[in-house]
Amino acid sequence: MKATLSNRYVVSAAGAILLYFVLSLAFGSNEYYSHVLTLAAINVILAVSLNLINGFTGQFSLGHAGFMAVGAYVAGGLTFFLKVPFLPALAAGALAAGIVGFLVGLPTLRLRGDYLAIATLGFGEIIRVLIINSDAIGLPMLGGPRGVRGIPGYTTFGWAYFFAVFTILVIANFINSTHGRACISVREDEVAAEAMGVDTTRYKVLAFSIGAAFAGLAGGLFAHQLQLLHPDSYTFLKSVDHLTMVVLGGMGSITGAAVAGVFITAFSEALREVQDLRMIVYSLSLIIIMLVRPQGLMGGRELTMDSVRRLWPGRRAAHTGGGARGTA
Amino acid sequence: MEGTSLTMFLQQIINGLSLGSIYALIALGYTMVYGIVRLINFAHGDVYMVGAYLGFFAAGWFGPRFIPVLLVSMAGAALLGVIIERAAYKPLRMAPRIAALTTAIGVSLLLENGTRFVIGPNPKGFPDLIERQTYNLGSLEISNVDILVLLVSLGLMVLLQFIVYRTRIGKSMRAVSFDKDAARLMGIDVDRVISVTFAIGSALAAAAGVLVGIAYPRIDPYMGIMPGLKAFVAAVLGGIGIIPGAVLGGILMGEAEVLSVQFFPSTFKNATAFVILILVLLLRPSGLLGRQQSEKV
Amino acid sequence: MALLDIDRLSISFGGLRAVSNFNLHMEKGELVGLIGPNGAGKTTVFNMLTGVYQPTEGSINLEGKSLLRLKPHQITARGVARTFQNIRLFSNLTVLDNVKIAMHLRARYGVLAGIMRLPSYHAEEKRIEKRARELLEIFRLSAREREIARNLPYGEQRRLEMARALASQPKLLLLDEPAAGMNPQETAELLELIRWVHREFDLTILLIEHHMEVVMNVCQRILVLDYGETIAEGPPAAIRSNPKVIEAYLGEEVKVGA
């Protein structure tokens, strides 16, 4: 079968739908597994969106949980207090998170590597502190340190899976466009990128905002699964979870991020009883990966898509967007 | 009345001084390491925590005597610092800064959760190494613990100043932080210098940990997170990589914290550090005592 | 109107005056060389031209419009392209991608169009790919299309740098030591390539070089910098025998054969 653009799309779409039905049939009836799969899908969204910022654009963000929180509280607040339907609430949460991402990114993205990381960490914590002090800032209904219980449980595995696929599709399409290439050039060499006509500031902020928006989407989904809004769900440790996924999967690889997202979810669940052990394994794996294989599982970057395609010649390409062969 | 509010203000200044000294001791480690390898040692706050625990155990072994406890803690932390540097940071010296920072986060988490795993999450009570007494200077109060903190901190800073400016190893440290490659060409053992820097920084942090253990006798595996962060902000505020900057920044952060409690609810306390950090990074990233640097194209 | 007007351009770093009173007027289609000992300030001039540094004094006008205080990507948009003294390729990307990124400014579709794969995306991407391949063909890099840039031999990396610079369809091309590290054969080929590119693309070129064969044989006019100051300007023959130039390079008065 000729690997034309439209054929590739049809095959990918078919593959995605097939996978969904397989998973649902296998695990759908069991509530626990269903719950874990939903969580896995949400983590895929978080990993892939963080990968856009860290992996593809090379901007080290440690505040992803903060944007998740914004999305969660906005979406959850809308459904709980104003009885807004699920999808518009999710969209509002994502939009809010994207806007916050834009506002945070604009001043912060001038900073270099390690300073940027600390600043984003700072903003993530500031968002959390603002939520904890919601009484003081005139939004007492957000529950402050106690949180809000009873958020409607709208998130199903179906929705989570749908949005995970949606996220992968959007970000893959973005990456395989001139705007995505611009982001990658920022990662590779900012000075050269500017010389090539890339407005590096614009693209850093763009990637940051898009990443933040998807984190907000994930947050909204998360809130409606947990059925709870609580500031402790969005600490720096959560951001470290996301970082671990991106690092494990390989910075700059969408497939890697997605796979790592699923893997880390499964791993966390398996070690649910022994939190200390889980964190120790996480921290060790961060160190070991950096020392031994910093490019992560997939080896990262554009090659990923191509190599997946090469592994199974002629069959489903893992959500490759259209466009040129040189770019995966 | 004017007299009393002035007194209160001065009292706060005094309270802030000992807190500031603690931040300064920790900040020195951050700034020295950044100056020499351009790495934000995320795990440094946790070395401070380990120092406190080492002091706790040392007090068990040697009895509640201040000097042995302090020395054991400082020596142990110095060793830990060198081990961390050699195992986790040295292999990544040529790697992008992001890789080293990720590893540093890993080390930090490992120290926190490792300690929690081995020793248990419940806080421990630090033994009383000295009997508390409060002295009065006119209408101002100061406790002997505060005086101890100030004296020890001052002593250590003077010692550091001596080491950095009057010894050969100190000269080597300054050379390496100025230009690593040139230093190597001059025959300086750069690896050794870097290890020594980490050792000294860690020892100072451990001293801070012991002092804090004496002052606030509750220690737990996560006690290093916030002070570590605030000390980092202090180092950036003063000018990262600049030793007097760390001291200045530490004192300022201590004073700011003590004074801000007067004006803001305490739940905002931790966010204040971040706000200061972000303001410094955006407005004057080289810090109060620092110079601007640009990239050669 | 001259294509490029640089007047009294100067820059100081701290107390050090790196470039002082630099003047250059280039008509469209000229090929001018900029030479001088190491550290004379040549790349600094390029960096000011491309917005990497802001001059402390002076003016830069391209086609009559000022380039001062513009960011580098804006200057590229105005039609100035450059290569770098130390090659700055996107080393982990493919050769083809390196060129495609340089065509970013000419891609006429928005972020949403890209994400939603609208027809404009497909049409433009096709055009970009075609054009990128043409450029690679010109620079004899077609076989390397899918290679990772950092795996290329040095000479080919330099050619890729040039291909990239041309991808943005510039009016003014700044070449910073394009022959650095090349052997005599590669240098001769480069010479031909520069001449060819100059004609075919109807470019105005400003060239920094140390290889005297390149400079003397390809430039119509040469400026000589030393310690940030212009010490000579003129056609190659005049420069070659200028005693001040010889002294700047060799540090003493010596008769130099061609």
Q: What is the pLDDT of residues B18-37, one digit of tens each?
A: 899 999 999 999 999 998 88
Let me know if residue C219 belongs to a domain: yes
Using the beta-carbon criterion (under 8 Å), do A133 and B267 form an inter-chain contact? Answer: yes
CA distances from C203 to A40, C102, C200 (A): 55, 17, 8
Confidence class for position A118, pLDDT limits 50, 70, 90: confident
Chains that touch A (3 or more CB pairs under 8 A): B, C
Compare B11 and C68 and report the one with higher pLDDT.
Answer: C68
Confidence class for position B214, pLDDT limits 50, 70, 90: confident
Q: Where does a domain end: C134, C166, C198?
A: C166
Span A165-216, pLDDT tens digits: 999 999 999 999 999 999 999 999 999 999 999 999 999 999 999 999 999 9
Nearest CA in chain B to C52: B297
Let me know if residue B165 belongs to a domain: yes
What is the count of structural domains for chain C?
A: 2
Let me know if residue B201 belongs to a domain: yes
Q: Which residues 55-114 of chain C have a CB within 8 Å of chain A? A: 71-74, 76-77, 81-82, 84, 88-97, 100-105, 107, 109, 111, 114
pLDDT at B2 over 80: no
Q: Please name the member of C51, C77, C145 whose beta carbon is closest to the beta carbon of A326.
A: C145
Let me know if residue B4 belongs to a domain: no
Q: Please name the member of A181, A301, A321 whose beta carbon is closest to the beta carbon of C117.
A: A321
Residue B31 to chain A, least CA–CA distance (Å): 14
Residue C244: predicted pLDDT? 85
Q: Assess whether C51 and C152 both reside in one domain.
A: no
Using the beta-carbon criterion (under 8 Å), do A119 and B271 form an inter-chain contact? Answer: no
Q: Assess whether C144 and C255 both reside in one domain.
A: no
Coil, strand, or helix at residue B15? helix
Residue C174 φ/ψ, nearest 5 degrees: -110, 120
Q: Assess whether C70 and C179 both reside in one domain.
A: yes
Contacting residues of B for A243, CB less than 8 Å apart: 102, 105
Domain extent, residue C156, equals 93-166
Asked which of A28-42, A64-78, A134-148 is least confident by mean pLDDT, the reply is A134-148
Beta bridge pairs of residue C94:
C148
Asked which of A144-148, B246-250, B268-272 is least confident by mean pLDDT, the reply is B268-272
What is the count of structural domains for chain A?
A: 1
The pair of structure tokens assigned to C157 is 């990396």
Rounded mean pLDDT, C55-83: 93
Cα A41 from Cα A217, distance rounded (Å): 12
Using the beta-carbon criterion (under 8 Å), do A129 and B109 form an inter-chain contact? Answer: no
Between A64-82 and A200-226, two packed helices, what is the crossing angle to 10 degrees?
A: 50
Q: Which own/partner pairs from C114-118 qualify as long-range (CB within 8 Å, at least 24 positions apart)?
A: C114/A173, C114/A174, C114/A177, C114/A178, C114/A179, C114/A180, C115/A170, C115/A173, C115/A174, C115/A177, C116/A173, C117/A173, C117/A321, C117/A322
DSSP codes joined into one string, C42-110: HHHHHHHHTTSS--SEEEEEETTEE-TT--HHHHHHHTEEE--SS----TTSBHHHHHHHHTGGG----
Query: Which residue has 């590229």 as its token pair?
Result: C76
Residue A8: predicted pLDDT? 61
Whether B159 and B58 have beta carbons less than 8 Å apart is answered as no
Let me know if residue C86 belongs to a domain: no
Residue A19: predicted pLDDT? 80
CATH number reported for the structural domain that contains residue C247 in this entry: 3.40.50.300
Please check whether residue A194 touches C, CB under 8 A: yes
Residue C168 to chain A, least CA–CA distance (Å): 7
Q: Assess whether C98 and C142 both reside in one domain.
A: yes
Residue A121 to chain B, least CA–CA distance (Å): 9
Nearest CA in chain B to C14: B292
Cα C181 from Cα C86, distance rounded (Å): 10
Using the beta-carbon criterion (under 8 Å), do C90 and A192 form an inter-chain contact? Answer: yes
Interface list for chain B against chain A, based on CB atoms closer than 8 Å: 39-40, 88, 91-92, 95-103, 105-110, 112-114, 116-117, 121, 232, 265, 267-268, 270-271, 274-275, 277-278, 281-282, 285, 295, 297
Residue A111: predicted pLDDT? 84
Asked which of A4-13, A197-206, B175-184, B214-223 is least confident by mean pLDDT, the reply is A4-13
Contacting residues of B for C84, CB less than 8 Å apart: 297
Please check whether residue C43 touches B, CB under 8 A: yes
Domain extent, residue A88, equals 34-235
Cα B139 from Cα A2, distance rounded (Å): 89
Confidence class for position A3, pLDDT limits 50, 70, 90: very low
> Chain C interface, mutation test: which of A6, A178, A304, most C Cβ atoms within 10 Å?
A178
Residue C145 to chain A, least CA–CA distance (Å): 8
What is the count of structural domains for chain B?
A: 1
Let me know if residue A256 belongs to a domain: no
Let me know if residue C140 belongs to a domain: yes
Contacting residues of C for A173, CB less than 8 Å apart: 114-117
pLDDT at A314 over 60: no
Confidence class for position C176, pLDDT limits 50, 70, 90: very high
CA distances from B214 to B21, B22, B211, B295 (A): 14, 12, 5, 45
Residue A5 to chain C, least CA–CA distance (Å): 10
Span C128-141, pLDDT tens digits: 999 999 999 989 89
Let me know if residue A107 belongs to a domain: yes
Q: Assess whether C74 and C101 both reside in one domain.
A: no
Whether B77 and B205 have beta carbons less than 8 Å apart is answered as yes
Between A275-292 and B97-119, two packed helices, what is the crossing angle to 10 degrees?
A: 150
Cα A127 from Cα A121, distance rounded (Å): 10
Residue A25's CB: how many other CB atoms inside 10 A? Answer: 9
Contacting residues of C for A321, CB less than 8 Å apart: 117
Let me know if residue B270 belongs to a domain: no
Instruction: Please list, in sequence order, all residues whose beta carbon lies within 8 angstroms of the beta carbon of residue A245, skipping any fewer than 6 positions away.
Output: A43, A46, A47, A50, A257, A260, A261, A264
